[in-house]
């Protein structure tokens, strides 16, 4: 589709309208209503996708590693040589034995020295053989359940006699990360609310301008027996149609970009096998968001006309 055809499509979508006795397009600003709502709908699509992505990413972090713990046992080479503490392997074995006796703990895994070296390799640079040149600690991964997730103190008490042992509960820093994600998510929701308010204000300005210009025609219609609902319906129908058309066109523009963004984000925010959640959200958003914006514009235009008629009646 070349630029001329695209421009023609926008013009037809903007101005083609069922016959009405009163028109929103009598005001100059009404002629740009379609374009303004089109841009607002695009922004709303991006905002909704950002909010969902933050929520999904936060949920994946919280449910994926929130119940995990890492136990580090320092080598204490000098103390081992002096006979003050047992060897690293013995302390690691005793730790695993204690862990297996605790019902709330599962998924116990002792990392090999090579795996530990791979974890710290990015901080040491390429070509550095940490496994042979550094006294690496014993690393034990596990998954905790019950009250141990929120409070690992009982576990520390059970393992306090293991020399050089420290426990890192992932829940402590996951909670901080989740709080940050929650703040960002609510910020995005606030932006979406402000966007809805901006659309309502835009619709009020356009409707009031059209009503002011058409006030004489409205008076004639009322004199001829037109009801308040008839006058309100003129603006309600036009605002709804313009907003729905703008929303549909914006959704058609957004959908390819939304699919591409979703494919890029899916590995990070959706675990394997749950990509359908993202696809369903994107599909629902594509259809529901234009309908919601159309309903908002129609209700705002009708409400503005109602307020004018009440003032006239007073």
Confidence at residue 134, expressed as pLDDT on a 0 to 100 scale = 74
Cα–Cα dist 289/244, whole Å? 10
Residue percentage of the chain with pLDDT more than 70: 78
For residues 302 and 76, the model is more confident at 302
- Most confidently modeled of 99-108, 177-186, 259-268? 99-108
User: Which of 131-140, 204-213, 227-236 bottoms out in mean pLDDT, i.e. has the lowest?
Assistant: 131-140
pLDDT at 112 over 70: yes
Confidence at residue 298, expressed as pLDDT on a 0 to 100 scale = 92
Banded pLDDT at 272 (limits 50, 70, 90): very low
Cα–Cα dist 219/192, whole Å? 38
pLDDT at 12 over 70: no
HEC per residue, 164-194 = CEEEEEHHHHHHHHHHHHHHHHHHHHHHHHH
* CA distances for 58 relative to 24, 51, 258, 268, 290, angstroms: 44, 11, 20, 10, 27
Give the bridge partners for 109, in sequence order.
Answer: 141
Buried b vs exposed e over 287-306: b needs ≥16 C-beta within 10 Å?
Answer: eebbebbbebbbebbbbbbb
Confidence at residue 77, expressed as pLDDT on a 0 to 100 scale = 72
Residues 6+ apart with CB under 8 A from 25: 15, 17, 31, 210
Confidence at residue 217, expressed as pLDDT on a 0 to 100 scale = 85
State the average pLDDT over residues 294-308.
Answer: 91
Confidence at residue 273, expressed as pLDDT on a 0 to 100 scale = 44
pLDDT tens-place string over residues 125-157: 666 666 667 778 888 888 887 777 667 788 888
Residue identified by tokens 């960002």 is: 184
Confidence at residue 11, expressed as pLDDT on a 0 to 100 scale = 53
Confidence at residue 27, expressed as pLDDT on a 0 to 100 scale = 66
Confidence at residue 291, expressed as pLDDT on a 0 to 100 scale = 92
State the average pLDDT over residues 194-211.
Answer: 90
Mean pLDDT of the chain: 79
pLDDT at 5 over 50: yes
User: Where in the chain are the domains?
Assistant: 3-63+176-313, 75-163
Strands (E), the chain: 68-73, 105-110, 138-144, 165-169
Residue identified by tokens 């369903």 is: 280
pLDDT tens-place string over residues 59-70: 766 666 667 888
CATH-assigned architecture of domain 75-163:
2-Layer Sandwich (3.30)
Confidence at residue 277, expressed as pLDDT on a 0 to 100 scale = 66
Confidence at residue 314, expressed as pLDDT on a 0 to 100 scale = 46
- Most confidently modeled of 2-11, 157-166, 257-266? 157-166
Cα–Cα dist 272/274, whole Å? 6
**How many residues are recorded in the chain?**
314
Cα–Cα dist 134/118, whole Å? 13
pLDDT tens-place string over residues 215-225: 888 888 888 88
Closest CA to 140 of 110, 102, 97: 110
Confidence at residue 197, expressed as pLDDT on a 0 to 100 scale = 94
Tokens of 131: 């496994």
């Amino acid at each position: 589709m070349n630029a001329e055809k695209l421009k023609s499509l926008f013009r037809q979508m903007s101005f083609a309208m069922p016959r009405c006795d009163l028109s929103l397009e009598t005001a100059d600003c009404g002629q740009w209503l379609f374009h303004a709502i089109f841009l607002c709908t695009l922004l709303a699509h991006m905002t909704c996708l950002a909010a969902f992505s933050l929520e999904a990413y936060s949920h994946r972090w919280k449910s994926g590693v929130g119940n995990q713990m890492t136990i580090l046992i320092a080598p204490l080479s000098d103390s081992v040589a002096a006979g003050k503490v047992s060897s690293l392997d013995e302390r690691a074995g005793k730790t695993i034995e204690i862990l297996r006796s605790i019902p709330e703990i599962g998924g116990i895994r002792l990392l090999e020295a090579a795996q530990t070296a791979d974890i710290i390799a990015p901080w040491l640079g390429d070509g550095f053989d940490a496994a042979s040149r550094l006294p690496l600690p014993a690393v034990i991964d596990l998954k905790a359940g019950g009250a141990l997730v929120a409070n690992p103190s009982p576990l520390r008490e059970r393992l306090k006699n293991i020399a050089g042992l420290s426990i890192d509960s992932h829940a402590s820093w996951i909670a901080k990360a989740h709080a940050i994600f929650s703040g960002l998510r609510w910020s995005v929701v606030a932006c979406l609310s402000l966007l809805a308010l901006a659309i309502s204000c835009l619709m009020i300005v356009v409707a009031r301008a059209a009503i002011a210009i058409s006030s004489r025609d409205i008076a004639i219609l009322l004199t001829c027996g037109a009801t308040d609902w008839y006058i309100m319906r003129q603006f309600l129908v036009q605002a709804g149609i313009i907003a729905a058309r703008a929303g549909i066109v914006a959704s058609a523009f957004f959908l390819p970009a939304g699919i591409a963004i979703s494919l890029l984000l899916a590995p990070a925010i959706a675990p394997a096998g749950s990509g359908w959640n993202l696809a369903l959200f994107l599909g629902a958003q594509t259809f529901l968001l234009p309908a919601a914006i159309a309903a908002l514009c129609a209700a705002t235009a009708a409400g503005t006309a109602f307020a004018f008629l009440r003032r006239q009646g007073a």
